[in-house]
Structure 1
Amino acid sequence: MKLLGNKRLLILMLGLICFIALMGLTFGQPGYKTWPEKFVKDALAWTQGLIYKPVAFVAGVFEDVNRLRTLHEENTVLRETLSRYARDTTRLNDLELQNERLQAALGFTERQKSMNKYNFRIAEVVTFQQSNKTITINLGEKDGIRPNMAVQSVEGLIGRVVAVSNFYSDVQLLTGIDDKATSNSKAISASVKGRENESFGIIERYDPDKQKLIMTKIDPQDKLQPGDTIITAGKGLVFPNGIEIGKVTERYEGDSVTHVAEIAPFASFNHLREVFVIEMPEG
């Protein structure tokens, strides 16, 4: 029995030695794995596959969220940049237009200075009151502005100063003239440019339907005709001589012995930006 037990132990040891030798030989061959290694490798790969797919999906979700956040931030920056660009472009266009207007205004004042001794004070329009046809300008009593000073744009006469505060003034536009006014200061003595001593009339009101100034008290023998340029005659104390008002479009007989003419104003009253207050020399 003892001999049989020793044989079994010997056989087991020999088998273990052979197995170890076989393992050593197989490990020495590159790329070759034993079936236990294969089993372990396959089991690990399968387990890793089960874990990797959900992890990869979650990681992809987070990556997409980060990408969306990045895109949102980039879009926000782009919108802000476009907004600034639009604002700056608008401001640039406005400054360019203002520069053109001021250059035209400078040319206008130089031309006027060569014609007479009037002083032209440039002012910006602050507000426009549609109800009473007046505008507010940013020059006032502190700037030497007084009531009844004539006001014009580059194109022509637009009205007169009617109220003055320290730093602002209200200007009554020609579109607010009407024949129901009790003050004769609103009427404008006018004549034909180039024939100042031959033509004369009074501009008393504005017809909003025709958008024309109505000139009355024209002598039937007066040679005024459509196409003539009407200017201020300077007969009153408000409007100085020689300011262009508009062009005659029609002439016809009035209710009495005088004739009436319709005048299309040169000035635009709806888009006033800069105007000139005409300061006449004392005396």
Structure 2
Amino acid sequence: MRNKRLFILMIGLIVFIALMGITLGRSKLTWPEKFVNDAFGTVQGVLYRPVGAVADFFRDLGRLSDVYKENEQLRMTVAQYTQDQIKFNKLEADNKRLQEMLDFTEEQKNMDNYSYLIAQVVGSTSNPYEKTITINRGSKNGVKPDMAVRTVDGLVGLVSKVKNFTSTVTLITTLDPNSSKGTPVSASFLSKPDSFGIIEYDEESNMLQMSKIDEKDKPMDGDKVITSGLSSLFPKGVIIGTVKNSQVGDFGLTYTAIIEPAAKFDHLREVFVIVVPEVEEP
């Protein structure tokens, strides 16, 4: 029995070796071999497609996650750039404004002997009958009541209340020279130093009005109006505004001029408190 099994194994080995020799010695496959190869390739292709699709799906998910992270980073970068641009524009505007203020103070030093306290506007009222602003300078900084206040552009108003670290400034648009507590602003034309007029606020036109102008000092459109210095409160030479038009008043003996204010009352940010040197009495 044992010899029979050994004989069958030897015969099988000889047949296998013979088949291998025949297969390796030829270049063409038989049709059974082709059938087996084609069947195996078809099955392999059918199995590979879903597996490949699943692999591509997860690979695409990974790529989408990377794109989302990149977009988030780009959005953060753009937001930071926008914020930096805003800061840069603000710093540039502040630098330009402060440079103008510095040039102004240097120019004024050559024109008069006034000194100036630079102050920031920290508040304002909306009362149309008593428009005031609050500045961050007070008695500790040398501010006193009835000091004139201006901007680089022109006259703003008068200090009305003073605290230790803040002060209230009443705008010239609400100074009423006809009231018992009125504070008249005396003015003159820059081109006519001897001219004279009183500044009031015209509610109808939202402009300043210069009245009681002598007939010999007929105002001309475009004339610059400045403080005359005749008032004990407003120092001489502070620009008030520009003549827009004029008309005859008071029985034809005087003129009245409409003045466009030089100061921009709706955009007050920094102001100057004018410090006039005290005159020693003899």
TM-score, normalised via structure 2 length: 0.82
Residues 188 and 227, structure 2, Cα contact 8 Å, conserved in 1: yes
Which structure 2 residues correspond to residues 146-157 of structure 1 after superposition, within 5 A?
146-157=144-155
The gaps in structure 1 that reach 5 residues or longer are 1-5
Determine whether 1:203 maps to 2:164.
no
Residues 26 and 32, structure 1, Cα contact 8 Å, conserved in 2: no
Deviations 1:149-174 (A, max 9, x none): 21111111121222333333332223
Give the C-alpha shift of residue 144 in structure 1. 1.7
Name the counterpart of 1:140: 138
Tell me the SS of whatever aligns to 1:251.
strand
Give the C-alpha shift of residue 91 in structure 1. 1.3
Tell me the SS of whatever aligns to 1:184.
coil
1:214/1:50 Cα in 2 relative to 1: closer, same or farther (>3 Å)? same
The gaps in structure 2 that reach 5 residues or longer are none
Name the counterpart of 1:175: 173
Determine whether 1:73 maps to 2:64.
no
Aligned equivalents of 2:27, 2:161: Cα separation in 1 = 105
Tell me the SS of whatever aligns to 1:160.
strand
Name the counterpart of 2:158: 160
Name the counterpart of 1:3: none
CA RMSD of aligned residues (A): 3.2
| Paired AA for residue 200 in structure 1 | F
Tell me the SS of whatever aligns to 1:214.
strand
| Paired AA for residue 147 in structure 1 | P
Identity %: 44
Give the C-alpha shift of residue 243 in structure 1. 0.5
Aligned equivalents of 1:124, 1:270: Cα separation in 2 = 14
1:134/1:69 Cα in 2 relative to 1: closer, same or farther (>3 Å)? farther
Determine whether 1:112 maps to 2:108.
yes
Aligned equivalents of 1:250, 1:13: Cα separation in 2 = 130
Aligned equivalents of 2:108, 2:26: Cα separation in 1 = 105
Residue-pair matches, total: 274
Aligned equivalents of 1:34, 1:22: Cα separation in 2 = 16
Tell me the SS of whatever aligns to 1:115.
coil
Aligned equivalents of 2:219, 2:13: Cα separation in 1 = 137
Aligned equivalents of 1:268, 1:66: Cα separation in 2 = 59
Residues 26 and 34, structure 1, Cα contact 8 Å, conserved in 2: no
Residues 199 and 223, structure 1, Cα contact 8 Å, conserved in 2: no
Give the C-alpha shift of residue 214 in structure 1. 1.0
